[in-house]
Structure 1
Amino acid sequence: MDKASKTVSIIREFDADLHLVWDAFTKKEILDQWWAPKPFQSKTLAMDFKVGGRRFYAMINQEGEEIGWQIQDYTSINPKTNFKFFNAFADKDQNPDLPGSNWDLSFSERNGLTKVCITIYNDSLERMERMIEMGFKEGFTATLNGLELLLLQLKK
């Protein structure tokens, strides 16, 4: 996390082929299996993975209640190599709570391992600090650990 540039950088390698990892990030039926740190779950309410499209999802607590919503507006897609989206917290009617952040995800494969590089550019230092306070580092690390376990199951 670099507060000076309001940027978060994440690099993670997965023991899975590129096609499977790409699908895990771009198909709602797979995303909802891992895009939240346990015990929370992600529930995609709408998703149109195309430039100009949107993913709208809710975070679900242990009691099954929707406790927060987010939007991801897709701004660029280069199949199997990179996609970008604008992310913001939102209300249940998809009204964004600005400021937001711009995510840039790049994918590459080498020797059966897929590397995912994620750069998150925050619109403001306040938003980045909010992410930190909400435990983003620990939560997203746990989320990616969940993806790693899911990929192992899906490879079988």
Structure 2
Amino acid sequence: MTTDTSKTRDLIVTRTFDAPLEEVWKAWSDSGYVKQWWGPKVFTCPVAKMDFREGGASLVCMRTPDGHDLYNTWNYHKIVPMELIEFVMRFSDADGQAVDPAKMGLPAELAAGVRHKITFRPVDGKTEMTVTEFGYTNDQTYEMSKAGLEECLDKMALIFSKK
């Protein structure tokens, strides 16, 4: 499969959660919340070391059902409380050192770093959240990332349905 890096596609997913803005914000900033939703539906999140501040880097881990750990870092560039989070997600080792996704058995076309923008908007006592992931260069990695993101957001919605 040939990848044309001059053409990129952004993944944009918007969800409205039945929760106040402050609660949805915590889903990204509080490790107790992140551990409940990070990773596809059959994965768990045993690690969420949050350094949630501009210039900070959080380390999160998704564990597969067979016990394989996949680590990511979220390097924050811009945080506007209750409005916006911008970060770059990278695959890493357990110490937060960057790792080439292909060396982890992931598709070679998967970018080493994916820029994310999360926006939040209160709507009639609920919260509209939009996640944008920038720069996918082929359909396979776009669809894989979309499926994973949708499952993460499904798990996030469950957090708020329990309250």
What TM-score comes out, normalization by structure 1 length?
Answer: 0.84
Partner of 1:148: 157
Q: Which amino acid aligns with 1:75?
A: H
CA–CA separation in structure 2 for the residues paired with 1:51 and 1:43: 24
> What corresponds to 1:118 in structure 2?
131
The C-alpha deviation readout for 1:110-153, integer Å capped at 9, x for no partner, is 1112000111113x62xx656336x2222221221111111111
Please tell me the root mean square deviation across aligned C-alpha atoms, in Å. 2.0
Whichever residue aligns with residue 25 of structure 2, its letter is W
Cα deviations by residue, 1:44-80 (Å, 9 ceiling, x for unpaired): 35221111111112211224x3421111011111001
Contact 2:84 2:118 in 1 (8 A): yes
Show structure 1 runs of 5+ residues with no match.
Answer: none
Where structure 2 has 5 or more consecutive residues not aligned to the other structure, the ranges are 101-111
- Structure 1 residue runs of 4 or more that deviate by more than 4 Å after TM superposition: none
Is residue 106 of structure 1 aligned with residue 110 of structure 2?
A: no
> In structure 1, how many angstroms separate the alpha carbons of the residues matched to 2:25 and 2:154?
16
- Provide the identity percentage: 26
Contact 2:34 2:48 in 1 (8 A): no
Structure that is richer in strand per residue:
1
